[in-house]
Amino acid sequence: MVKKIFKWLGVLLLTVIVVAGSFAAYEWNADKPLRFRSFVDREVLKMAFESPETLTSLGFLESVGITGHNGELDDASLAKADELYVKLKQVHKTLNSYENDSLTEADLLSKEIALYLLDFAKDSEQFRYHSYPVNQLFGIQNGYPSFMEAQHQIHSNDDVENYLSRLVLVQGKFTQELEGIRLREEKGIIPPLFVIERVLEEMTTFVGKLIEENILYTSLAKKMTDEQAKLLAKAKNNIKDYVHPAYKSLIDYFTNLKSKATSDDGFWRLPNGEEAYISSLKFFTTTDYTPQYIHDVGLKEVNRIQSAIMTILAEQNYDVSRGFSAAIEDLAAQESFYYEDSDAGRAQILVDYQKILDEIDTGLESAFRIRPKAGMEVVRIPEFKEKTAPGAYYQQPAIDGSRPGRFFANLYDIKATPKYAMRTLAYHEGIPGHHFQIAVAMELEGLPLFRMFSPFTAYVEGWALYSEYLAWEMGFQDDPFDNIGRLQAELFRAVRLVVDTGIHYKKWTREQAIDYMKANTGMAQSDVVSEIERYIVMPGQATSYKVGMMKILELREKAKLALGNKFDLRDFHDVVLKNGAVPLNILERFIDDYIADTLANTNSAN
């Protein structure tokens, strides 16, 4: 269905272009289309059509023969960003002009969610430069090669020529990115010293490799046919003449910026940094929770979960008399919990992850009616960026069905993947976690396009963390050590509440945060360091997981108490998933309506 929808949209666009004066053309060009749904979908499509990289990732235009965008890159200039903020204000005004009385219930919800996002964009515009666009986790320096490797498809000579074009255009895009970074420097928004050191190491390593070993070269070579191989020489020249100089311009800039950087890491140190952090917390949690409240909840949850872990360890005859950290270190020291530190061992990890996902996928009938049609697979995070990448992440399937959902596993440090933690991670990133929620949202019929990709992290990550708990409830982690793995994962998210607010609100140093997380989770040192460094460059994001999970569990308990034997877990999950990602207050309203409707139907039946 998703593929059909987007093929239809591609055809619609062609019709609009060709058939001037048609109703579709009016809806595309009018200041205010007649149909509300036409307006919100049109605005998303217009933004998508201004982003060649988005079009490549979505992959629906190719089905109607449009491929020129695959030879272009996004406009990353400050002028383009200014244009977007102006556009969002215009969209806000038009959106409000649709009278509520004229809208269906579904359109009213879409209007509410759209206004939520637009209002936040308006309120937070003052903090638009409070970010580090190039950092150890993301940015053009690793996003560009990842995009070219994972998203740019090669099926014809034209696809290769488009790839070569993007190798040339990257130099201009790096220049545009530098424009925004320099403006931040003028405003006193300079990354912490460790961030600069990390990206310099990453970029220096990237340009230091032989071109034939560069991912931009090797990924193209793998995708090409023998007949296309003659074009590899052009790719090599373009990498040398355009890609390397682009990276060197960033290397030179950050080398000079080092002298201005400090080891203070929290947002509190930036101009209006405390206000910017509160704004970030509001965006990621979709609540008005204060930093102090989140910090206190985190401390309470850390104590509760640690106690549960210690109880299990004691039952398994571990010495818990020396405290939590020592007991976890004893557990982590057992070699039997780890794979062989070799290519074969890493390959087996991927195989075993897939087995875990296949197993649970066939055992969820009692908990779910709504399920995604898209499949999913486990792959390794590309080696060139795994050293500074998180432990795992999920990539949504292609909108046209050409690529399944993907669970990317970090295999850099073999000690960071104990066997007892694998089930929980697979359930979070894959099934029934991110894959169920995100792929289902993409496949929902009648949902406006913007709601398929709504950025409500508390809902999205809260669902994934809730999924870990659900899998345990359903018996998929009945081994006590697997349950410890689950509890450690939840503890990890509770610790995040403490350290994120500690860094950005309570002025903790990077070292303080690392020490706290290491002592209270027992995670591998490499994971602790990369996680803390992630929170520093993504303020507030890490708090969304636990906040969202607690809200979903709270709402489930509310429904169970209100409905008694009328409560059906499948109904609850349908309500949570069938509208895509939403702010937590709207999710609570859904559950309240579900409770009221169920009670009303029960009373009428009696």
> What DSSP string runs through 406-417?
EEEE--S-GGG-
pLDDT at res. 601:
85
- Is 452 in contact with 444 (CB distance < 8 Å)? yes
pLDDT at res. 17:
40
Q: How far, in Å, CA of 411 to CA of 346, rounded? A: 7
Once rounded to an integer, what is the mean pLDDT over residues 512-540?
91
Q: Is the pLDDT of residue 204 over 70?
A: yes
Once rounded to an integer, what is the mean pLDDT over residues 184-188?
98
Residue 438, phi then psi, degrees to nearest 5 = -75, -45
Q: Is the pLDDT of residue 8 over 80?
A: no
pLDDT at res. 15:
38
Angle at 101 between CA 95 and CA 107, to 5 degrees: 50
* CA dist 107 → 1, 37, 177, 186 (Å): 21, 7, 37, 43
SS3 call for 376: strand
Q: Is the pLDDT of residue 108 over 80?
A: yes
What letter represents residue 269's amino acid? R
Q: Is the pLDDT of residue 27 over 90?
A: no
| pLDDT confidence bin for 390, thresholds 50/70/90 | confident
Q: Please write the tens of the pLDDT for every residue from 412-446.
A: 988 888 999 999 999 999 999 999 999 998 888 77
Least confident of 50-54, 167-171, 535-539, 555-559: 50-54
| pLDDT confidence bin for 7, thresholds 50/70/90 | very low
Residue 394, phi then psi, degrees to nearest 5 = -110, 140
- Residues composing the chain: 606
What letter represents residue 259's amino acid? S
CA atoms within 13 A on the CB side of 316: 17
- Is 494 in contact with 302 (CB distance < 8 Å)? yes
| pLDDT confidence bin for 21, thresholds 50/70/90 | very low
CA atoms within 13 A on the CB side of 517: 33
| pLDDT confidence bin for 606, thresholds 50/70/90 | low
Q: Please write the tens of the pLDDT for every residue from 540-587.
A: 999 999 999 999 999 999 999 999 999 999 999 999 999 999 999 999
Q: Please write the tens of the pLDDT for every residue from 585-594.
A: 999 999 999 9
pLDDT at res. 382:
87
Q: How far, in Å, CA of 360 to CA of 344, rounded? A: 25
Q: Is the pLDDT of residue 223 over 60?
A: yes
pLDDT at res. 401:
77
Q: Is the pLDDT of residue 207 over 90?
A: yes
- Stated pTM of the model: 0.85
SS3 call for 380: strand
Q: In what order do the strands lie in the sheet with 405-409?
A: 376-380, 405-409, 392-395
**Nearest alpha-carbon partner for 76 in 11, 127, 155, 141:** 141
Once rounded to an integer, what is the mean pLDDT over residues 83-96?
96
| pLDDT confidence bin for 605, thresholds 50/70/90 | low
Once rounded to an integer, what is the mean pLDDT over residues 288-294?
97
581-587-589-593 Cα dihedral, nearest 10 degrees: 90
Q: How far, in Å, CA of 268 to CA of 260, rounded? A: 17
Can you give the C-alpha Rg of the chain in angstroms?
25
- The alpha carbon dihedral of 204, 205, 211, 217 has a sign of negative
Q: How far, in Å, CA of 475 to CA of 327, rounded? A: 25
Q: Is the pLDDT of residue 333 over 80?
A: yes
Once rounded to an integer, what is the mean pLDDT over residues 25-30?
78
Residue 380, strand partner residues: 409
